[in-house]
């Protein structure tokens, strides 16, 4: 197989070729390793997708154990790019922050170990917004990632490096995390598939924490089948994460091509105001495709969804302010030079080590949790969260899935929103409600607006991943999105 | 930064408009039961591994400046 042919393969197809003996895992690894290493070497002339790239294939790939033969594992040695915030033993894991520059964890995150055990080979660590706080990847201490569809634009965030790498064919697939939209929004802006699973479906052990009641790992892939294959090997109870759950049934690979008998709900609250015209046009065209496949489309109410962003920007910073207290220059990471005493060390270490957005959120969170303000902010936000969950439960009694655009706009220009945090936060307007309710949601590409990809978000009830993937698979077939411009 | 934080706080203040007195706050989005394991000691990281990434160490611990130098 030529390198060009190999790059055309989805991860599932590559795994099948390896199983059939027509491609070796080592050959596949080398094709991607060369491309990833070239992007890393190109610095700002490339896409800046990676913070680390493997020099050689893992031994299991090099000696053929991940390849053909009787010992074949489900992921068959297919290389995987992993968001920087997953701890990987002996491999830099910096969460996009200067405060963790050069940090080499003593253990590996559960999600990554499970995928490795299933036969994935660690190809690279991907660039991200610092501590996953951002919607454009411009908050990384290691420089912004560029969108492969237009280098002057952002890839979205916070899993921007993972999304851009998959879209540009620098990795077959990637692992990301989603707190308020950090898998789905970059997937939408880069024209690929991104799935945020049900909260608790995937262990958070070894993920450098942002907001623990929201953080969830998930796949960024070229198509829905790849997302299902990767998810299948990630889910499950892990005793090292007390919030993780046994998934009630095995994840299956999607097969549906029709949507007869499926009812979609379209909430006015997330599909009218604040959504740019080109995105709405693609969204409504996607609704027509759903009807063509036999689905019913009707209106639903998510009355509290417009308040989700406000609640999110209390809850997430509050949890972050607590989680990030551990970065104090004592046990790992950066320490300010020549501190005069202990307090001076803490203060200067955190001031110099954290970027502006992280400092902003720590201050917001600390304020929201402070005595006298707790009930007005954190207490109220957790009540809004209850109302949002109730809205979804009511909606799912009437419809099977909810459809919205994934993001209100296509990819915006680098620097366009950095001066106005609130306008940046609004990028997650359509994705945050599902995060607060802990329900699964997938973004699939549904068309182009001004030559840039538009994402369609499909959300289902907790643990409905199998049906969600099936429905997304049927829609994907009908939408027939052509992702090839990104790999030119 | 003060101006930016004010804009965000103004946006957040919108949740003050809702009537939420009878609503229970969310603690877990998905019900979790039996999350606790028996409280039995298990092996932990070897000391030298735990200390390996620290900016400064003494023979057997993390080294920090005095609280009142």
Q: What is the ipTM of this complex?
A: 0.93
- The model's pLDDT over B1-43, given as tens digits with 9 standing for 90+, comes to 888 888 899 999 989 889 998 999 998 888 777 778 889 999 9
CA–CA distance, A375 with A44 (Å, rounded to integer): 46
Interface of A with B in 309-328 (CB under 8 A): 309-311, 313-314
Q: Which residue of B has its CA nearest to A338?
A: B65
**Shortest Cα distance, chain B CAs vs residue A467, angstroms:** 19
Q: Which of B1, B11, B30, B61 to mutate to test the interface with A (most CBs of A within 10 A)?
A: B30
**Shortest Cα distance, chain B CAs vs residue A343, angstroms:** 7
Residue tagged active-site, from A12, A24, A83, A136: A83
The confidence score (pLDDT) of residue A70 equals 44
Asked if B20 is an interface residue toward chain A (Cβ–Cβ < 8 A), one would say: yes
Asked if residues A167 and A486 have their Cβ atoms less than 8 Å apart, the reply is yes
Q: Which of B7, B32, B37 sits opposite A422 (nearest CB)?
A: B7
Interface of A with B in 414-443 (CB under 8 A): 420-422, 425, 436-438
Asked if A100 is an interface residue toward chain B (Cβ–Cβ < 8 A), one would say: no
The domains located in chain A, with CATH, are 3-257+478-487 (3.90.1300.10), 307-379 (no CATH)
Per the document, the length of chain B is 69
CA–CA distance, A433 with A68 (Å, rounded to integer): 44
Q: Which residues of A touch B32 (CB under 8 A)?
A: 200, 242-243, 245
The confidence score (pLDDT) of residue A64 equals 60
**Mean pLDDT of chain A, nearest integer:** 95
The sign of the torsion formed by the CA atoms of A287, A292, A298, A301 equals: negative
Residue tagged active-site, from A12, A158, A427, A449: A158
Cβ–Cβ below 8 Å for A106 and B8: no
Q: Which residues of A touch B53 (CB under 8 A)?
A: 103-106, 331-333
Asked if A109 is an interface residue toward chain B (Cβ–Cβ < 8 A), one would say: no
CA–CA distance, A310 with A294 (Å, rounded to integer): 37
Q: Which residue of A has its CA nearest to B32?
A: A243
Asked if A360 is an interface residue toward chain B (Cβ–Cβ < 8 A), one would say: yes
CA–CA distance, B30 with A241 (Å, rounded to integer): 14
Cβ–Cβ below 8 Å for A382 and B27: yes
Structure-token match 């290691």, residue found: A142
Q: Which of B19, B25, B48, B63 to mutate to test the interface with A (most CBs of A within 10 A)?
A: B25
Q: What is the pLDDT along chain A (488 residues), one digit of tens a residue?
A: 899 999 999 999 999 999 999 999 999 999 999 999 999 999 989 999 999 999 998 887 866 654 444 458 999 999 999 999 999 999 999 999 999 999 999 999 999 999 999 999 999 999 999 999 999 999 999 999 999 999 999 999 999 999 999 999 999 999 999 999 999 999 999 999 999 999 999 999 999 999 999 999 999 999 999 999 999 999 999 999 999 999 999 999 999 999 999 999 999 999 999 999 999 999 999 999 999 999 999 999 999 999 999 999 999 999 999 999 999 999 999 999 999 999 999 999 999 999 999 999 999 999 999 999 999 999 999 999 999 999 999 999 999 999 999 999 999 999 999 999 999 999 999 999 999 999 999 999 999 999 999 999 999 999 999 999 999 999 999 999 988 765 54
CA–CA distance, A103 with A87 (Å, rounded to integer): 9
Residue tagged active-site, from A93, A182, A225, A461: A182
Residue A182 annotated in active site: yes
Q: How far apart are the first and last CA of chain A?
A: 19
| CA A378 to centroid of chain Cα atoms | 26
**Shortest Cα distance, chain A CAs vs residue B40, angstroms:** 14
Q: Which residue of A has its CA nearest to B27?
A: A382
Cβ–Cβ below 8 Å for B7 and A387: no
* Residue ranges of E strands in A29-136: 50-53, 79-83, 121-126
How far, CA to CA in Å, does A159 sit from each of A62, A153, A432, A435?
Answer: 29, 15, 15, 15
pTM for the full model? 0.96
- The model's pLDDT over A41-67, given as tens digits with 9 standing for 90+, comes to 999 899 999 999 999 988 878 666 544
């Amino acid at each position: 197989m030529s390198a060009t042919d190999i790059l055309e393969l989805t991860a599932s197809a590559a795994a099948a070729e390896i199983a059939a003996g027509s491609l070796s895992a080592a050959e596949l690894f080398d094709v991607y390793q060369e491309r990833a290493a070239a992007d890393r070497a190109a610095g700002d002339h490339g896409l800046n997708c990676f913070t680390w790239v493997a020099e050689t294939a893992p031994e299991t790939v090099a000696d053929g154990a991940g390849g053909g033969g009787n010992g074949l594992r489900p992921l068959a040695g297919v290389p995987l790019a992993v968001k920087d915030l997953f701890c990987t033993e002996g491999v830099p894991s910096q969460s996009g922050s200067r405060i963790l520059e050069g940090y080499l964890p003593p253990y590996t995150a559960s999600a990554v170990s499970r995928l490795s055990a299933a036969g994935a080979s660690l190809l690279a660590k991907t660039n991200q917004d610092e501590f996953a706080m951002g919607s454009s990847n411009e908050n990384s201490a290691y420089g912004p990632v560029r969108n492969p569809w237009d280098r002057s634009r952002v890839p979205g965030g916070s899993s921007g490096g993972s999304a851009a790498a998959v879209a540009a064919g620098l990795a077959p697939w990637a692992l990301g995390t989603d707190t308020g939209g950090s898998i789905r929004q970059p997937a939408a802006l880069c024209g690929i598939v991104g799935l945020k699973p049900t909260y608790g479906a995937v262990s958070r052990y070894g993920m450098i924490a942002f907001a623990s009641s929201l953080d969830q790992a998930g796949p960024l892939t070229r198509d829905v089948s790849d997302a299902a294959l990767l998810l299948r090997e990630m889910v499950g109870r892990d005793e090292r994460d007390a919030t993780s759950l046994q998934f009630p049934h095995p994840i299956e690979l999607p097969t549906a091509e029709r949507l007869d008998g499926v009812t979609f709900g379209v909430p006015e609250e997330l599909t009218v105001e604040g959504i740019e015209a080109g995105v709405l046009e693609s969204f409504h065209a996607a609704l027509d495709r759903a009807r063509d496949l036999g689905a019913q489309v009707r209106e639903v109410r998510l009355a509290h969804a417009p308040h989700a962003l406000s609640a999110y920007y209390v809850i997430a910073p509050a949890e972050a302010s607590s989680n990030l207290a551990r970065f104090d220059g004592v046990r790992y990471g950066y320490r300010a030079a020549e501190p005069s005493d202990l307090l001076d060390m803490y203060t200067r270490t955190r001031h110099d080590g954290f970027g502006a957005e992280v400092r902003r959120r720590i201050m917001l969170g600390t304020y929201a949790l402070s005595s006298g303000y707790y009930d007005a902010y954190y207490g109220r936000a957790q009540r809004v969260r209850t109302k949002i969950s109730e809205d979804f439960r009511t909606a799912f009694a009437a419809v099977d899935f909810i459809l919205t655009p994934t993001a209100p706009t296509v990819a915006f220009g680098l620097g366009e929103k950095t001066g106005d945090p609130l306008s940046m936060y609004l990028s997650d307007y359509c994705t945050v409600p599902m995060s607060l309710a802990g329900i699964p949601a997938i973004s699939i590409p549904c068309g182009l607006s001004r030559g840039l990809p538009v994402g369609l978000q499909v959300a289902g009830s907790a643990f409905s991943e199998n049906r969600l993937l099936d429905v997304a698979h049927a829609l994907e077939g009908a939408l027939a999105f052509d992702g090839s411009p990104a790999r030119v | 930064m003060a101006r930016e934080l004010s804009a965000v706080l103004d946006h957040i203040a919108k949740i003050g408009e809702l009537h939420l007195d009878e609503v229970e706050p969310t603690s877990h989005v998905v019900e979790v039961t039996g999350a606790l394991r028996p409280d039995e000691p298990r092996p932990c990281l070897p000391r030298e591994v735990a200390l390996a990434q620290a900016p400064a160490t003494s023979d057997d611990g993390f080294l920090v400046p005095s609280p009142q130098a």
